[in-house]
C-alpha cells in the first residue's frame, strides 16, 4: 500500500472551472473563423461578398444588374445560455427572415418553428437599435456563483454577460431570444 507522500500530486475539482473559463473566453473572443483570411465569419443567411466579374450575371443590366443592399440580406443573431447549478448549455440562432435553429446539450440541434411576423419585426428593430461595437465584450460579476452567462453574437461581435449590468437594448434582445428559446425547447 502506498503512503500518501508517494502518491503523485493531483489537484481535484479544477477541471470543470477550467473548462467553463475556456468556453467563456472563446465566446468572448468570437469564432476561430473570424481570423480566417477571407474575413470574419458570417451568420447563416448572410452571404459572403462577391467580387465583380466572378460567376454568372445575376440579373438584367451590365454587371449582373442591381446588387442587393445590406438591408435586403437577412441578419442572424445567436444567444447561448450556459451555467447554473444544472450546467445548462443551450442556444438559439434567429434570423430576420424568420428561421430559427435551436440546440440543447442533451437534445442536440434542430430547426425550430419560425418567428412570427411581429417577432421578426421586433428582432429587426432591436438589431438596428443596438450598436454591438460599442458594447463591452464582457460584463460578468466574477464573484457570482451558479449564475447563467449569456453570450450574444451578431455580425462578428460577441458580448458575454450575466445580466448584472444593464446593456440597454441588448438586454431586451437577450430577453426576446431567451423567450423564443424556452418556447422551442
Residue 42 lies in a domain: no
Residue 30 lies in a domain: no
Evaluate if residue 66 carries a pLDDT over 60.
Answer: no
Residue 37 lies in a domain: no
Residue 4 lies in a domain: no
93 membership: H or E segment, kind and range: strand 88-95
Computed over its alpha carbons, how large is the radius of gyration of the chain? Answer: 21
124 membership: H or E segment, kind and range: helix 117-129
Residue 163 lies in a domain: yes
Q: Which position has the higher pLDDT, 33 or 101?
A: 101
Residue 167 lies in a domain: yes
pLDDT tens digits for 127-141?
Answer: 999 999 999 999 999
Q: Using CA atoms, how far apart are residues 79 and 158, in angstroms rounded to an integer?
A: 10
pLDDT tens digits for 71-120?
Answer: 568 999 999 999 988 889 999 999 999 999 999 999 999 999 999 999 99
Which residue's C-alpha cell is 417577432?
119
Cell numbers representing residue 47 in the block: 452571404
DSSP β-bridge partners for residue 158: 153
Coil, strand or helix at 125:
helix
Q: Which position has the higher pLDDT, 97 or 14?
A: 97
Cell numbers representing residue 70 in the block: 445590406
Residue 25 lies in a domain: no
CB atoms within 10 A of CB 160: 23
Q: Which position has the higher pLDDT, 26 or 150?
A: 150
Give the count of domains, the chain: 1
Sign of CA dihedral 120, 73, 170, 184: positive
Rounded to the nearest 10 degrees, the angle between the axes of helix 117-129 and helix 169-184 is 150
Residue 79 lies in a domain: yes
Query: What is the four-CA torsion angle of 110, 105, 139, 131, rounded to 10 degrees?
Result: -10
Cell numbers representing residue 157 in the block: 461581435
Q: Which residues span the domain enclosing 87?
A: 73-185
Average pLDDT over residues 1-15: 44
Amino acid at each position: 500500500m502506498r503512503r500518501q507522500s508517494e502518491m503523485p500530486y493531483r489537484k481535484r475539482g479544477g477541471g470543470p472551472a477550467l473548462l467553463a473559463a475556456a468556453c467563456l473566453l472563446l465566446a468572448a473572443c468570437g469564432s476561430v473563423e473570424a481570423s480566417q483570411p477571407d474575413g470574419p465569419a458570417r451568420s447563416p443567411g448572410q452571404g459572403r461578398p462577391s467580387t465583380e466579374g466572378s460567376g454568372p450575371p445575376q440579373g438584367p443590366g451590365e454587371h449582373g444588374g442591381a446588387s442587393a443592399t445590406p438591408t435586403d440580406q437577412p441578419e442572424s443573431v445567436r444567444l447561448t445560455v450556459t451555467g447554473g447549478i444544472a450546467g445548462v448549455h443551450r442556444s438559439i440562432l434567429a434570423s430576420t427572415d424568420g428561421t430559427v435553429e435551436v440546440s440543447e446539450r442533451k437534445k442536440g440541434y434542430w430547426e425550430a418553428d419560425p418567428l412570427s411576423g411581429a417577432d421578426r419585426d421586433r428582432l429587426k428593430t432591436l438589431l438596428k437599435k443596438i450598436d454591438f461595437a460599442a458594447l463591452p465584450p464582457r460584463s460578468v460579476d466574477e464573484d457570482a456563483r451558479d449564475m447563467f452567462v449569456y453570450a450574444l453574437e451578431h455580425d462578428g461581435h460577441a458580448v458575454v454577460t450575466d445580466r448584472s449590468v444593464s446593456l440597454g437594448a441588448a438586454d431586451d434582445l437577450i430577453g426576446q431570444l431567451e423567450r423564443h428559446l424556452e418556447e422551442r425547447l
